[in-house]
A and B are shown apart, each in its own frame.
Chain A
Amino acid sequence: MAAITLIEGVTQALAYEMKHDPSVVVLGEDVGVNGGVFRATQGLSEKFGEWRVFDTPLDETTIAGLTVGLAAQGMKPVAEAQFEGFIYPMMEQIVCHAARMRNRTRGRITCPAVFRAPWGGGIHAPEHHSEANEHLFTNVPGLRVVLPSSPARAYGLLLAAIRDPDPVVFFEPKRIYRQYKEEVPDDGEALPLDVCFVLRDGTDITLVTWGAEVKETLEAADALAKEGISAEVIDVATLTPLDFDTIAESVQKTGRCVIVQEAPKTAGFGAEIAARIAEECLYDLLAPVVRVAGWDIHTPLFRLEQKQLPSTARIVAAAKRVLAAG
């Protein structure tokens, strides 16, 4: 069993599934010879040849259209957008075709495609390379939106995404691509989609998050623990369809909830979770639900980007505000 980083989890999952399922193909800009802008597809071209791992023109619309076509005709394409900020040209194909294929054909054709994209900020990248835009996809029926937050979850959830008969938007938090390593057996075991992962058990407050912010949220839970506050940490992992049961149960237990999201606050996915809590758990709440999120601005360039990302300190402060409120 090798100790691997999150991005190596992605590579390992792709390699495993390509080896065991000849219908899996990988396409995107520079995914072949170059091995991908972040090296996610490193070595796949040598292993599986250019028919299974192919470089496309610099044209996201084509990549996505090709992916929908391949998927509709029985292949299992895994398309890469080099950055989440370049996925917008793909949206027409993803939203208007991939997400609707099953419904449009009344179940005759599904669209077993995966659209991968490095996601989020914090790597000193230029404009368009640091966005958190998952909420643009969570509102689209027929799409799964998945955000792994650890090497093991990157491996297990990507395998599940490729095997799923419906389209998955798979956002990889690039800030933690190589942050640490984890022992992940390359045994082809998928992790379950559509359920949250409870990373810490707690009784005083529920911290709900996803993606790269899992790191800061766990740090915040540790900081709170030093003060005797027991925080439950939930990694949503699959945003849509949302496993609200896990969140609801936790909120019923703790009575308090802080939602942490990297994306701008207004109308982000945290708003959906907060609304569901208001609809279904109001009488369990001891304090208002609080969101710690990015500011409502374009992701700033590197000198200010750390100020955009919800920091451990901001999460801790929000948790204390909530605890003080009731």
Chain B
Amino acid sequence: MAENKTFHLPDLGEGLPDATIVEWLVKEGDSVKLDAPLVSMETAKAVVEVPSPFTGKLLKQHGKAGDVIVTGAPLAEFELDPRGKQRAENAAGGHHHAPTPVAAPAPEPAPAPAAAKAADREDEGTVVGAVASSNELRTEQAGSVGGVKAVPAVRAMAKKLKVDLARVQATGAGGVVTMQDVKNAAASGTASLPSPSGRGAGGEGSASVVPSPGAARHHGALGQGRQPYPMGEGTRSTLSQSGKPMRTTPPTVAATGQPEQLKGVRRNMARVMAQAHAEVVQTTIVDDADLHQWLGKQDITARTIRAIVAACKAEPALNAWFDGQNLTVTRHPHVDLGIAVDTPDGLFVPALRNADMLDARGLREGINRLRAQVEDRSIPASELTGYTISLSNFGMFAGRYGTVVVVPPCVAIVGVGKLSHDVVAVMGGIEVHRRLPISLTFDHRACTGGEAARFLKVILDDLALPQ
């Protein structure tokens, strides 16, 4: 027994009260397929073809060309074709405001039962279009990867909480891991996965999940595993999240960071050093100053500066400026000592003016003042240039000898390494002396090796004095 259905005029625009029939495209008694054009209708907005809502026979047209049909009022009667393709239940489409009072000025008033049906129709859950609906009940099945049974949601939670499902105590029926099992494992930290690579949120969202305590961290060697993004917690692992070794190896060791534009002091340092390297013929000689004779505690930096000043007086060739273009040398009667100061922002070399005129206390005060000015960035730019020779006390951190860079126009720089207690051979045996490693780098264009060696000897001799 075929079922009969009434088709009510859907809202053909948005919120249109009615539409006028232009032309029926299917005659009464003819068969029509679902979605085939049924009737063309004119609204306040446009002429639209209304598709057939059913497959079957058109039993009756509620109106003819020129008639106005109120939205929601019956438009056509169908006898459904039980073998034909029908839209899912409750998907007839159309617009259902509150039941429309049927007051269509149609020549054939709609039969009352149909109007009543229009009013009582079930809400189809949409104002526009047709949402297919069914009462079919589905459940997502537990999959089993690596012999672990868990539904997708539980697996997703395990991933989020960095829990290794394989090591979770399963309490579900048939050995299925439940959501609670995963949460318990996360809380107790008993099944933590190694942290995955720091691949992370592109967003600023903060995950509302606390990583399990005691999560094991494996640091893979550079170039192993997939390259993490330089964001989030960049811990890396050679294992995939399933605990298997990763097979993908990048073609080269890719840099993991973002290139950063150098700014300010570091930018200047890069330029200056490259220029120095290109111009200067650097030569380094090294030796140790023996401080065994020192009386009492003394200021090593002040003593070193005094020694440099003495050396400058003895060998003025190293306290000079050299012009490689014009091949001129300018020897200085005074010593303005550039002192290398390391900061997070880069290298500063402030000038300690007239170092040759200052006593130990004056030197110390001068150095402290320069350091403070560099640290709070109050140092004027004029104080960062014009030194005649410089000093780099890298031994404050580490290192014994080094090729410190001569920055033109200067021709020499003294590097002071880390103070150490050395075994020294002396007449009649061995002793342990405090020694200070001194490296002298000079520009061989501007001075000879002899001048440099004599300069170095003066430093060593001056530093060896008791006070």
Question: How many residues of A are counted as interface, with CB atoms below 8 angstroms from the partner's CB atoms?
Answer: 69
With beta carbons under 8 angstroms apart, the residue of A129, A193, A197 that contacts B128 is: A129
CB of B319 within 8 A of chain A? no
CB of A47 within 8 A of chain B? no
B205 touches A144 (CB 8 A): yes
With beta carbons under 8 angstroms apart, the residue of A191, A198, A284 that contacts B247 is: A284
CB of B126 within 8 A of chain A? yes
Query: Considering residues B51, B90, B123, B203, which has the most beta carbons from chain A within 10 angstroms of its beta carbon?
Result: B203
Q: Scan A240-257; emit 1 where CB is below 8 A from any B CB, else 0.
A: 111111101100100000
Q: How far is the CA of A89 from the CA of B247 in the complex (A)?
A: 46
CB of A182 within 8 A of chain B? yes
Q: How far is the CA of A265 from the CA of B126 in the complex (A)?
A: 28
Chain B residues positioned under 8 Å from A166 (CB to CB): 203-206
A201 touches B240 (CB 8 A): no
Taking A195-B156, A197-B155, A283-B248 as contacts, is the C-beta distance between A126 and B128 under 8 angstroms? yes
List the one stretch of A15-23, A62-70, A149-157, A287-295 in contact with chain B. A149-157
CB of A267 within 8 A of chain B? no
Q: How far is the CA of A156 from the CA of B246 in the complex (A)?
A: 32
Nearest opposing residue in chain A for B135, CB measure: A181
A179 touches B132 (CB 8 A): yes
CB of B242 within 8 A of chain A? yes
Nearest CB of chain B from residue A186's CB, rounded to whole Å: 15
Taking A7-B125, A144-B205, A241-B205 as contacts, is the C-beta distance between A198 and B199 under 8 angstroms? no
B242 touches A38 (CB 8 A): no
B138 touches A191 (CB 8 A): no
Q: How far is the CA of A166 from the CA of B155 in the complex (A)?
A: 24
Nearest CB of chain A from residue B243's CB, rounded to whole Å: 10
Nearest opposing residue in chain A for B146, CB measure: A201
Q: How far is the CA of A189 from the CA of B143 in the complex (A)?
A: 21
CB of A177 within 8 A of chain B? yes
CB of A275 within 8 A of chain B? no
CB of A90 within 8 A of chain B? no
B129 touches A124 (CB 8 A): yes
With beta carbons under 8 angstroms apart, the residue of A130, A193, A302 that contacts B207 is: A193
A195 touches B160 (CB 8 A): yes
A197 touches B156 (CB 8 A): yes
A103 touches B204 (CB 8 A): yes
B240 touches A240 (CB 8 A): no
Q: How far is the CA of A249 from the CA of B136 in the complex (A)?
A: 33
B133 touches A178 (CB 8 A): yes
With beta carbons under 8 angstroms apart, the residue of B134, B155, B196, B209 that contacts A178 is: B134
Q: Scan B115-158; emit 1 where CB is below 8 A from any A CB, else 0.
A: 00000000101111111111111111001110000001101110
Nearest CB of chain B from residue A184's CB, rounded to whole Å: 10
Chain B residues positioned under 8 Å from A200 (CB to CB): 143
CB of A165 within 8 A of chain B? yes
Chain B residues positioned under 8 Å from A204 (CB to CB): none
Nearest opposing residue in chain B for A178, CB measure: B133
Nearest opposing residue in chain A for B226, CB measure: A280
Nearest CB of chain A from residue B157's CB, rounded to whole Å: 5
Q: Scan A3-43; emit 1 where CB is below 8 A from any B CB, else 0.
A: 10101000000000000000000000000000001110000
Chain A residues positioned under 8 Å from B51 (CB to CB): 124, 302-303
CB of B227 within 8 A of chain A? yes
B202 touches A198 (CB 8 A): no
Chain A residues positioned under 8 Å from B140 (CB to CB): 150, 152, 182, 199
CB of B208 within 8 A of chain A? yes
Taking A166-B205, A192-B160, A303-B51 as contacts, is the C-beta distance between A37 and B126 under 8 angstroms? yes
Chain B residues positioned under 8 Å from A191 (CB to CB): 153, 156-157
Taking A178-B132, A180-B136, A192-B160 as contacts, is the C-beta distance between A241 and B200 under 8 angstroms? yes
Chain B residues positioned under 8 Å from A248 (CB to CB): 226, 240, 248
B145 touches A201 (CB 8 A): yes
CB of B201 within 8 A of chain A? yes
A243 touches B205 (CB 8 A): no
How many contacts A-B (CB < 8 Å)? 181
CB of B233 within 8 A of chain A? no
A175 touches B126 (CB 8 A): no
Chain B residues positioned under 8 Å from A38 (CB to CB): 125-127, 131
Q: How far is the CA of A281 from the CA of B226 in the complex (A)?
A: 8
A182 touches B139 (CB 8 A): yes
B248 touches A189 (CB 8 A): no
Chain B residues positioned under 8 Å from A163 (CB to CB): 208
Taking A197-B152, A245-B199, A252-B240 as contacts, is the C-beta distance between A192 and B209 under 8 angstroms? yes
Nearest opposing residue in chain B for A122, CB measure: B132
Report B164-188 residues with CB < 8 Å from chain A CB. 179
CB of A164 within 8 A of chain B? yes
Report A195-245 residues with CB < 8 Å from chain B CB. 195-201, 235, 237, 240-245
A194 touches B131 (CB 8 A): no
CB of A116 within 8 A of chain B? no
Report B207-229 residues with CB < 8 Å from chain A CB. 207-209, 226-227
Nearest CB of chain A from residue B131's CB, rounded to whole Å: 5
Chain B residues positioned under 8 Å from A281 (CB to CB): 226, 248
With beta carbons under 8 angstroms apart, the residue of B145, B179, B199, B203 that contacts A142 is: B203
Q: How far is the CA of A122 from the CA of B143 in the complex (A)?
A: 30
Chain B residues positioned under 8 Å from A196 (CB to CB): 156, 159
A5 touches B133 (CB 8 A): yes
Q: How far is the CA of A246 from the CA of B162 in the complex (A)?
A: 12
Taking A39-B125, A124-B130, A302-B51 as contacts, is the C-beta distance between A160 and B208 under 8 angstroms? yes
Taking A178-B131, A303-B51 as contacts, is the C-beta distance between A252 and B201 under 8 angstroms? no
Q: How far is the CA of A249 from the CA of B145 in the complex (A)?
A: 12
B201 touches A241 (CB 8 A): yes
Report B229-268 residues with CB < 8 Å from chain A CB. 240-242, 246-249
CB of B359 within 8 A of chain A? no
Q: How far is the CA of A241 from the CA of B207 in the complex (A)?
A: 10
A183 touches B130 (CB 8 A): no
CB of A123 within 8 A of chain B? yes
B129 touches A129 (CB 8 A): yes
CB of B74 within 8 A of chain A? no
Chain B residues positioned under 8 Å from A76 (CB to CB): none
With beta carbons under 8 angstroms apart, the residue of A150, A160, A178 that contacts B125 is: A178
Query: Considering residues A99, A183, A245, A282, which has the most beta carbons from chain B within 10 angstroms of its beta carbon?
Result: A245
Taking A178-B125, A191-B156, A252-B246 as contacts, is the C-beta distance between A183 and B139 under 8 angstroms? yes
Chain A residues positioned under 8 Å from B138 (CB to CB): 180-182
Nearest opposing residue in chain A for B241, CB measure: A245
Q: How far is the CA of A38 from the CA of B128 in the complex (A)?
A: 8
A164 touches B208 (CB 8 A): yes
Chain B residues positioned under 8 Å from A280 (CB to CB): 226-227, 248
Nearest CB of chain B from residue A230's CB, rounded to whole Å: 11
**A–B pairs, 9, beta carbons within 8 Å:** A123-B132, A124-B51, A126-B14, A129-B128, A141-B204, A163-B208, A177-B125, A191-B153, A245-B241
What are the 4 tightest A-B residue pairs by CB atom distance, in nearest-first order? A178-B133, A125-B129, A192-B160, A241-B201
Q: Can you name 9 extra interface pairs (CB under 8 A) apart from A193-B160, A198-B152? A: A160-B208, A178-B133, A179-B134, A180-B136, A191-B157, A195-B157, A280-B248, A281-B248, A283-B247
